[in-house]
Amino acid sequence: MPTAEFRRYALFYLGYYGALGAYTPYIGRWVSANGHGAYAVGAMLALWYGGRILAPPTWARQVARSSAPGHWLVAGCVIALAMFAGFLQFDHGAMLFVVMGAFALFFNAVMPQFEAMTLNALGTRNHDYGKIRMWGSVGFLLVAASYGWLLDRLGNDAFVWLTLPWVALTAAAAWLHRADPPSPAPEAGAPREQLWRRPGVRALLGTAMLMQLGFGPFYVFYTLQLQAHGHDGFAVGLLWAIGVLCEIVMFWQAPRLVQRFGAHRLMAACLLATALRWILVAFFADSLAWMAVAQTGHAVSFAAFHAGCMRRMAELFPARRDMASAQGMLYGFSGGIGGVLGAGMAAFFWQHGGGAAAFVAGAVCALLSLAVHLGTQRRTSTAPAAET
C-alpha cells in the first residue's frame, strides 16, 4: 500500500480509538462528577455495548445496497460527532441517555464498515493490517495515559471538550474515504442457524460472553475504583497506559503462543489469570505497585485471549464464506450481550457492595467462563474433524 494510502487509513484508526481512549476510561468519572450514581454510570456503558448489538448489522445492510459506501461512513461519523457534542448541553436527566444511545448507535456502526473497507483495500496484503490497526492502539494509549492528568488540572467538565477533537478527527478522516469503491459482495455462507448448531460453537460463545461479563467492572468502574483508593489522575492514566502497552506487545507475540500451546490451553490460562487480576483490583487497589502488576495482566486477559478465540473460530469455521456470520455471532455475544450484562452487573455490585464486591463478581465470571471452557474442552477439540 502506498504511503499516502497507508496514512489515510491509519488516520481513521488513530482518531476512532483516540476517542475511545477518552470515553472508556473516563466517561464514568465524568458522569459520577455530575452527581450521578452507580446505575447511571453503568447505564452509559450498557448503552454503548447495546449499540454494538444493534448498529453493525443494520448499518451493514444499508451500506451493502449503496454504490457510495464512503458517503455512509462520512454520514455516520458526522452524526456521531453531533451526538457527542450534545453532551455539552445535556449532562443530566433523560436526554443524557438519549444522546448516549444515539452516539453509541452511529459510532459503533462505522467501525465494522471501515474494517471491511481496509481489508478490501489491502487485498492480498492483508498481513499488513496490523501495521495500520496499530495506530488505533497508539491513539488509545496517548489519550488514556494523559487525560487523567488533564482532568485533574482542567476539571471534569473539560471531558467533553477534550474528547470532541478526536471524534472530529474521525469524521475528517472519514471524509478522505468518501469516494472509496464498494467492497466485493461476500460469497454466501451457511445460514447462521446451522453455524450455531456446530459442535463447540455455543461453548465458545458462552466462554467469550462470560469473559466479557467479567470485564464489566473494569470498563465501567476501574477509574473510579482507583480514585476511591487515593490515586490521582496521573497514576490512573499511567495504569491505563501500562495495560495498553502490554496489549500491543502481546498482539505481536500471541501467534507464537497459540502455535506453541494451542488455543484451548492458552485460553484456559488467560481465564485463570484474569480471575486473579480482578481479585488484585478488588483487594489491593491502594497499592500502585500491585495495580501495575494487575494491568500487565491485560496482555493475557485481552490480547492473548482474543488471539485464542480467533484461532478457535478458524478451527470451527474453516470455510472463509462462513467467517463473516460467525464473527458477527461472536461480536454480538461477547462485545454486545456480555458488555450490556457486564455493565449492569457492575453497577449493581458497586452500588450495594462497592469496588471490592464489583471486582470479585468479575473474578467469579472469569472462573465461570473457565468452567464452561474446561467442561467442554474434549468435545470442542474434536469439532473441526466432525465438520470436515
pLDDT for the residue numbered 191: 58
Indicate if the pLDDT at residue 209 is higher than 70.
yes
Indicate if the pLDDT at residue 314 is higher than 60.
yes
- Candidates 29, 51, 368, 36; CA nearest to 222 is 29
Q: Which three cell numbers stand for residue 54?
A: 444493534
Provide CATH 1.20.1250.20 ranges for the chain: 1-180, 190-383
The pLDDT tens digits for 10-26 are 999 999 999 999 998 99
Q: Check: CB of residue 365 under 8 Å from CB of residue 217.
A: no
Indicate if the pLDDT at residue 385 is higher than 60.
no
Q: How many CB atoms lie within 10 A of CB 58?
A: 11
Cα 288 from Cα 291, distance rounded (Å): 5
| Burial class of residue 89 (count of CB atoms within 10 Å of its CB; 0-12, 13-18, 19+) | exposed
pLDDT for the residue numbered 384: 44
The pLDDT tens digits for 246-267 are 988 888 888 888 888 888 899 9
Cα 221 from Cα 47, distance rounded (Å): 15
Average predicted confidence (pLDDT) for the chain: 86
Cα 302 from Cα 271, distance rounded (Å): 10
pLDDT band with cut points at 50, 70 and 90 for residue 222? very high
Relative orientation angle of helices 158-175 and 69-85, to the nearest 10 degrees: 170
The pLDDT tens digits for 148-166 are 999 999 999 999 999 999 9
pLDDT band with cut points at 50, 70 and 90 for residue 113? confident
pLDDT for the residue numbered 200: 76
Cα 373 from Cα 206, distance rounded (Å): 8
Question: Could you give the angle at the alpha carbon of 217 between the alpha carbons of 350 and 164, nearest 5°?
Answer: 105
Q: How many CB atoms lie within 10 A of CB 323?
A: 17
The arithmetic mean of pLDDT across residues 268-284, rounded, is 96
Indicate if the pLDDT at residue 279 is higher than 60.
yes
pLDDT for the residue numbered 312: 82
| Burial class of residue 234 (count of CB atoms within 10 Å of its CB; 0-12, 13-18, 19+) | middle
The pLDDT tens digits for 154-199 are 999 999 999 999 999 999 999 999 988 876 665 555 555 666 677 7
- Candidates 242, 317, 303, 238; CA nearest to 274 is 303
Q: How many CB atoms lie within 10 A of CB 129?
A: 14
DSSP string for 287-321: -HHHHHHHHHTHIIIIIIHHHHHHHHHHHH--SHH
Rank 119-123, 134-138, 192-196, 225-229 by mean pLDDT and report only the highest. 225-229
For domain 190-383, the CATH architecture is: Up-down Bundle (1.20)
Q: Which three cell numbers stand for residue 19?
A: 476517542
- Candidates 199, 238, 140, 214; CA nearest to 317 is 199
List helix spans (H) across the chain. Answer: 3-33, 38-64, 69-85, 93-122, 129-154, 158-175, 192-196, 201-214, 216-228, 233-261, 263-283, 288-296, 298, 305-316, 320-331, 339-375, 377-381, 383-387
pLDDT for the residue numbered 369: 95
pTM of the model: 0.84
Q: Which of 112-126, 151-165, 221-235, 358-372 has the lowest mean pLDDT?
A: 112-126
- The backbone region for 262, taken as left when phi is positive above 0, alpha when psi lies in -120 to 50, beta otherwise, is left
pLDDT for the residue numbered 308: 86
For domain 1-180, the CATH architecture is: Up-down Bundle (1.20)
